């Protein structure tokens, strides 16, 4: 697998516009306003209707009674809940919750859309060929790179819009969740001169061009050395569909009395080379056991 080499700047909170003031991702504000101490419900309602902006909290958050981080909580709201921003004071936003309560939350806990609200995850996944990496979790954002099949990715979150948050070179970026798999992705490659069934992880036994085929997954280092001592050429490697190869040939086990070491034999997965044998030959001398990473 090719090692991913790229640099992506981390994505932070979006810019918010309130009453013509710009709230930057850094949290710095050109000027501030507050609706604390409004004289009456009528003025309060009018101000909210004129100036409120719908936002979402990106994590479970306490709505505080004032701008101090140690002030009491008037309500606890959950990740993804919506609030109306009605004022800004320093690093805090005054908000109106869906229950009708007002209080303060940190600027950094707000986001402008539910696509930025992620449920925590922690796992290693593998991507399909051509997976697009984006700087924001939506189909309209910039594609910064595409990934080859089975690139390993660390997933840290999943949203409800089909995107996963991943870490690449220490930066957060986003890929479609449907393009990820918990295990490596194998796409069988049929032998070009064989039109019959092909051995796959789901098809444990098929009848190939040389007879019955099964598969096994063992360490092949001794088999590789024995084959090379017998004159085989090429390096050991694992094909993208999970088939173990020696040079250009699929590695197979067979009955040495019928097909000696290094015999070239056709299989449903390509031309094979005999590098091993097994007890299965006692039941079927023509059977081939194909070495795979499944």
How is the chain split into domains, by residue range? Answer: 16-114, 118-181, 206-291
Q: Provide the pLDDT confidence category of residue 278 given band limits of 50, 70 and 90.
A: very high
CATH C-level class of 118-181: mainly beta
pLDDT, greater one: 99 or 44: 99
| Predicted confidence (pLDDT) per residue in 219-248, tens digit | 999 999 999 999 898 899 999 889 999 998
| Predicted confidence (pLDDT) per residue in 102-116, tens digit | 999 998 888 887 888
pLDDT, greater one: 72 or 2: 72
Distance separating alpha carbons of residues 161 and 176, to the nearest angstrom: 9
For residue 58, the model assigns a pLDDT of 85
For residue 190, the model assigns a pLDDT of 53
Cβ atoms within 10 Å, residue 254? 28
Q: Is the pLDDT of residue 119 over 90?
A: no
16-114 and 118-181: identical CATH topology:
yes
Mean pLDDT rounded to a whole number for the chain: 82
- Which of 5-19, 21-35, 40-54, 246-260 is the most confident on average? 246-260
Distance separating alpha carbons of residues 88 and 95, to the nearest angstrom: 9
Tokens of 210: 């040389």
For residue 172, the model assigns a pLDDT of 93
Q: Provide mean pLDDT across the span 31-38.
A: 36
Choosing among 2.60.120.620, 2.30.30.40, 3.40.50.11750, 3.40.30.10, the CATH entry for 16-114 is: 2.30.30.40
Q: Provide the pLDDT confidence category of residue 258 given band limits of 50, 70 and 90.
A: very high
For residue 188, the model assigns a pLDDT of 58
Tokens of 195: 């039109």
For residue 187, the model assigns a pLDDT of 62
φ, ψ dihedrals at 101, nearest 5°: -90, 150
For residue 277, the model assigns a pLDDT of 96
Q: Provide mean pLDDT across the span 139-160.
A: 93
Are 287 and 214 within 8 A, CB to CB?
Answer: yes
| Predicted confidence (pLDDT) per residue in 52-89, tens digit | 688 889 889 999 999 888 899 999 999 888 899 988 88
Neighbouring C-alpha atoms within 13 Å toward the C-beta of 242: 18
Q: Is the pLDDT of residue 38 over 60?
A: no
Are 189 and 238 within 8 A, CB to CB?
Answer: no
Q: Provide mean pLDDT across the span 194-214.
A: 92
Q: Is the pLDDT of residue 48 over 50?
A: no
């Amino acid at each position: 697998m090719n090692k991913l080499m790229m640099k992506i700047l981390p994505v932070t909170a979006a810019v918010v516009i309130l009453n013509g003031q710009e709230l930057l991702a850094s949290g710095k504000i050109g000027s501030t306003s507050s609706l604390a101490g409004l004289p009456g419900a009528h003025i309060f309602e009018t101000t909210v209707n004129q100036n409120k902006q719908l936002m979402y909290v990106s994590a479970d958050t306490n709505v505080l009674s004032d701008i101090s981080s140690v002030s009491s909580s008037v309500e606890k709201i959950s990740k993804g809940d919506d609030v109306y921003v009605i004022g800004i004071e320093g690093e805090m936003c005054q908000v109106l919750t869906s229950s009708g309560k007002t209080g303060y939350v940190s600027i950094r806990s707000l986001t402008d859309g539910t696509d930025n609200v992620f449920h925590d995850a922690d796992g290693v996944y593998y991507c399909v060929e051509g997976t697009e990496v984006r700087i924001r979790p939506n189909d309209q954002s910039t594609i910064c790179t595409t990934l080859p099949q089975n690139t390993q990715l660390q997933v840290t979150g999943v949203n409800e819009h089909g995107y996963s948050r991943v870490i690449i070179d220490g930066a957060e970026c986003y890929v479609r969740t449907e393009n990820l798999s918990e295990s490596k992705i194998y796409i069988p490659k049929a032998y070009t001169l064989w039109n019959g069934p092909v051995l796959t992880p789901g098809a444990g036994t098929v009848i190939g061009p040389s007879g019955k085929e099964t598969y096994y997954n063992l360490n092949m280092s001794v088999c590789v050395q024995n084959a090379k001592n017998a004159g085989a050429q090429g390096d050991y490697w694992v094909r993208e569909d999970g088939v173990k190869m020696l040079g250009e040939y699929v590695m197979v086990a067979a009955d040495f009395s019928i097909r000696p070491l290094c015999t070239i034999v056709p299989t449903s997965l390509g031309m094979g080379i005999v590098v091993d044998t097994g007890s299965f030959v006692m039941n079927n001398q023509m059977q081939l056991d194909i070495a795979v990473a499944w």
